[in-house]
Amino acid sequence: MSYYKRHIFFCLNQRENGENACLQHGAQAGFDRCKSRIKAEGLMGPGGVRVNKSGCLDRCAGGPVAVVYPEGVWYTYVDADDIDEIVDSHLKDGRVVERLLLAPDIGR
């Protein structure tokens, strides 16, 4: 068994040259919301959920993005309601949020 049941990474990359990057699309707010929800639900720590910041995940065109492991499910999101749905459905109950899935052909 894995140390964490689920691990979610939020791209918080920022580019100085003006290229598209997740941080300019609200990624920090998404990360903060997810981390506070996981903490409030008592899901943090071993056997639970780990919420991590990440550098570039190279899927900038779909940003902001997050990826959940061990399933390898990629999400895009726009607001706190989307983050809440990811927490409630996927991180707590293991149900993928289909409407927030990042299309497999979206890259940088």
Domains and CATH numbers, the chain: 6-100 (3.40.30.10)
pLDDT in tens, 36-86: 999 999 999 999 999 999 999 999 889 899 999 999 999 999 999 999 999
Q: How far apart are CA 38 and CA 7, in angstroms?
A: 11
**DSSP strand pairing (65-69 vs 49-54):** unpaired
- Report how far residue 66's alpha carbon sits from residue 11's, in angstroms, rounded to the nearest whole number: 6
pLDDT at 1 over 80: no
Residue 66 structure tokens = 């997050």
b/e per residue, 60-76, with b = 16+ CB within 10 A?
bebbbbbbbeeeebbbb
Rounded to an integer, the average pLDDT of 17-31 is: 89
* The 6-11 sheet, strands edge to edge: 49-54, 6-11, 65-69, 73-76
